[in-house]
Amino acid sequence: MADDEKLFWEEVADVAPIRRERRVRRPPDSAVDAATLAKRREAAAMARERDPNFLAEEGFAPLDPWYVLDFKRPGIQNGVFRKLKQGRYEAEARLDMHRMTVRQARAELFAFMRDCHSLGLRSVMLVHGKGDRKPEKERVSILKGGVDHWLREMDSVQAFHSAQPQHGGTGAVYVLLRKSAEKKRENRERFMRGRVPYEPEKR
C-alpha cells in the first residue's frame, strides 16, 4: 500500500458514516391527485351554494368596442325605450368597471345591480370602457360581451342601450330597472293616502 493511501486510511479510521433518516413511502401520485381533486370539487360546490351570484362566468363572446348594445323586454313601451336610448333618463347611480378583470366585473356588476334594485332606483349607468390601444381593446371587448350577456340574465333589467357620445358612447350603457316590490308598495300607499275606499251601497 502506498504511503499516501496508508496515511489517508489512518486519518479516516475513526470517521462514522452519516445516519440517513428513514424514508416514508409515499402513495402513488394518482391517489393523491384523486383525493385532492375530490376535495376541490366539494369545496367548489359548497362555494357555489353560498354565492348568490348566478351570472355566467363564461360562454359569452367578445364584442367590438364600437358595437351598440340594444335590448328591451317585451312589454316595454317604445317611447320609454326611445327616451332611454337618447339619455333622457338621469342616471341615479353609476358603476365604472375600467381596469377590472371579467371576474371582478361580474362580481361588482351583480352587487351593484342588486343594491340599485333593492333601493328602488330605475335608471343607472355602467361604464365598461371602449379601448384605444390593442391590448386594452381586446380586454374591453371581452368585458363588453360579458356586460351584454349578464344584463340579459337579470330579471330586474327591463332594457339597456349604449350611451350617447357625451356619456361615453359605446363605452358605456344606460340600464332601465323595473320597480322593486317595496317601491311598488310605497307608490300604492302614497296613491291611497287621503283616499276613502269605495264601498258599494247595501240594499
The verdict on pTM exceeding 0.85 is no
Q: How many CB atoms lie within 10 A of CB 139?
A: 18
pLDDT, tens digit, 9 for 90 and up, residues 124-147: 999 998 865 566 666 667 899 999
Structure confidence at residue 26 as a pLDDT band (50, 70, 90): low
Bridge pairing between strands 123-127 and 157-162: unpaired
Q: Which domain holds residue 120?
A: 70-180
Q: How far apart are CA 168 and CA 162, in angstroms?
A: 9
The answer to the question of residue 10 being in a domain is no
Q: How far apart are CA 130 and CA 143, in angstroms?
A: 10
Domains: count for the chain: 1
Q: How many CB atoms lie within 10 A of CB 154?
A: 19
Q: What is the CATH number of the domain that holds 166?
A: 3.30.1370.110
The answer to the question of residue 49 being in a domain is no
C-alpha dist (Å) from residue 49 to 45, 139, 152: 6, 29, 22
Q: How far apart are CA 123 and CA 158, in angstroms?
A: 10
User: What mean pLDDT is predicted for residues 5-16?
Assistant: 67
The answer to the question of residue 37 being in a domain is no
The answer to the question of residue 126 being in a domain is yes
The answer to the question of residue 3 being in a domain is no
Write down the number of H helices and E strands in the chain. 6, 5
User: What mean pLDDT is predicted for residues 89-106?
Assistant: 94
The answer to the question of residue 34 being in a domain is no
